[in-house]
Amino acid sequence: MRTSIYLAALLPLLAATSPLIERAGGPTSEPIPATCTVINPLPHAACGISNVNGYKPDPAFAKANLLYEAYFTTGLSQAEDAKQCKQQCYGYGTTGECKSSFVGYQVPTPKGYQGTTGGSLETGCLLFKEYLTPLDFVASAEGRYLNATAASIYCPS
């Protein structure tokens, strides 16, 4: 009996710190079919950018297109964080509603996120209703938005 009470008290704390787990109101992770094309739209050498560290989605793009955001501390690899965020994008709402995702490290939480004053540096997963292109990124403050991974997910109808 006592163990059950402790577990019941502990589960919400574990859920709050677990990376990208399904939670009430959060998108469901769905594997992306092989028929879809996933393109990394981060700025790159062809755009005259030699280092993509420190780039974030343009605030105007984010404000107009943000569907969902989650911030967390992760123990997963960068590849696994990116995979889970992409799969949450693919599983978001109706098929094709989410078109792109972005994962970055040292991303400041926004003011009001989960009732906080914001500014806590976390891993951020952002989902958007429009495709990201290299032109949709801007430089961020030094030491923010590190090791970013972005994906635009194109699937046939």
- Kindly state the greatest CA–CA separation across the chain: 63
d(CA 59, CA 36) in angstroms, rounded, equals 27
**What three-state secondary structure class fits 122?**
strand
Residue-wise pLDDT for 11-27, tens only, equals: 333 333 334 444 445 78
Global pTM reads: 0.80
What pLDDT digit, counting tens, does each position of 50-107 carry? 666 789 999 999 999 999 999 998 778 989 999 999 999 999 987 789 999 999 999 9
Q: How confident is the model at residue 46 (pLDDT cuts 50, 70, 90)?
A: low
* Residue 107: count of CB within 10 angstroms of its CB: 23
Handedness of CA 27, 114, 85, 49 (dihedral sign): positive
CA distance 15 to 141: 30
